[in-house]
Structure 1
Amino acid sequence: MNQNTNIQTVPDGIDVINGKPYMADAKGSLVPVEMIKAEAKLEDQTVRKIIGYASDLSDQVARFKGHTFEDLSTLEGLLAEKYGRTKGGSKGNKTFMSHDGLFKVLIQVADHIDFGPQLQIAKELVDECLNEWSAESRPEIRAIVTRAFNTDKAGQINRSEVFMLLRLEIEDARWKQAMTAIRDAMRVVGSKTYVRCYQRDTYDGPWRAITIDLAKA
């Protein structure tokens, strides 16, 4: 474009060039608006409208999370000043309750667990057990083992199924050695803190989660 070109960007993804409206396509090329099908323009407007609401909501959730941790930190600071200790449970998990018992806020710390090379040794020992037990081994145990050591699309081990192996009560010495290898393979590579809010109608009623997750709303 030459130096005399006048470009003006207006809302809804439209660029006005020398007084004529254009919209960019997926390749970055500018297309005159009058050449774009009505249904394509309607889809564009709908998507931009939804994204606008989603962006605003995302910002609100981020502010809510920040204010929540700030408020609870202030409360804990006051408690620590008065009692010389902070509120909390194992691994940093904490519960804050309203005086009437109808509302509570849970702070939960979840560890991110990865597995070291000992996991391969555990798999070899488990395979030995299954091959020797042959027909005697229960099919549900084989199914758990298969799911546990199969990797997902991201190449990650199925952690929940690995943990299920640890809960099985099997007396074979090699199996026990395999479970020890799994425990030795487990290592915490990080953690994430979650805040969850609950309410109930009566002091002895069931708790209901106050949903913030869009998929569960």
Structure 2
Amino acid sequence: MTNAKGDHVPLSRVTPADLLIDETVRKMMGFAIELNAQIARFRGHCFDDVGALQALLAQEYGASVGGRKGNITLPTFDGTMKVTIQVADQLMFGPELQAAKRLIDECLAEWGAEAGDNLRAVVNQTFDVDKEGQINRSALFSLMRLAIEEPRWVRAMEALRDSIRVIGSKTYIRFHRRDAADGPWRAVTIDLSAAA
């Protein structure tokens, strides 16, 4: 057998445990690869079906169907199932973000105790990047909603807004069902966004 370094190891030198692990992983991967291909085909068919439906409705009514970005929800007639297409912007933050952080720090330093622990916590949470180096977007947008009229704070919020860059978008398809038209929705989970 070939090991991870590319060396050929006689079968008699491979432990029974390593043989069993190798066999199990290869069996599982065979199913995973096949299922991934099925999901990818299903995803393609779903988008084709929605596209064809939108084209038909647009032809029928002379207007496009779906939101400005392409978002659309398609319910069943009885209200127990729905398919939702969502287009989400992928964001990146430019160097203006650091300028905003400096201005906010200046405000907090000047305000001292008046700034309050809650505001400091929100600011610290906003600029604390997670393990992938991505800024906490929801905290950033929460910070931008604060109504503080101090001129430096206003400039900081302008810098935050200017730092936001849309670098692409990702389209998601989600499925939901419920037992009755007035019941709670339950997701039918299929990770189509990751299918190749």
- Using the size of structure 2 for normalisation, the TM-score is 0.91
Structure 2 residue corresponding to 1:160, chosen from 138, 148, 161: 138
Does residue 1:210 correspond to 2:188, yes or no?
yes
Paired positions, count = 192
Larger Rg, first or second structure (1 or 2): 1
Residue of structure 1 equivalent to 2:51: 73
Deviation at 1:133, TM superposition (A): 1.3
Q: CA RMSD in A?
A: 1.7
Distance in 1 separating the partners of 2:128 and 2:180: 45
Q: Which moved more, 1:130-139 or 1:148-157?
A: 148-157
Q: Flag the 1:27–1:197 CA change in 2: closer, same or farther, 3 A.
A: same
Residue of structure 1 equivalent to 2:111: 133
Deviation at 1:50, TM superposition (A): 1.4
Structure 2 residue corresponding to 1:147, chosen from 116, 125, 128: 125
For structure 1, the residue ranges without an aligned partner over 5 or more in a row are 1-22
Distance in 2 separating the partners of 1:211 and 1:92: 21
- In structure 2, what residue type is equivalent to 1:159? R
- Using the size of structure 1 for normalisation, the TM-score is 0.82
Identity %: 55
Distance in 2 separating the partners of 1:177 and 1:41: 63
After superposition, what is the alpha-carbon deviation per residue over 1:175-208, rounded to whole angstroms, capped at 9, x for unaligned?
1221122112212111111000100100111111
- In structure 2, what residue type is equivalent to 1:201? D
After superposition, what is the alpha-carbon deviation per residue over 1:141-176, rounded to whole angstroms, capped at 9, x for unaligned?
212212222334443333222112112232323212
Residue of structure 2 equivalent to 1:123: 101
Runs of 4+ in 1 over 4 A off after TM superposition: none
After superposition, what is the alpha-carbon deviation per residue over 1:68-88, rounded to whole angstroms, capped at 9, x for unaligned?
000111111111111111211
- In structure 1, what residue type is equivalent to 2:86? Q
Distance in 1 separating the partners of 2:118 and 2:12: 63
Does residue 1:106 correspond to 2:70, yes or no?
no
- Structure 1 segment 2-151 matched on structure 2, within 5 A: 23-151=1-129
Residue of structure 1 equivalent to 2:156: 178
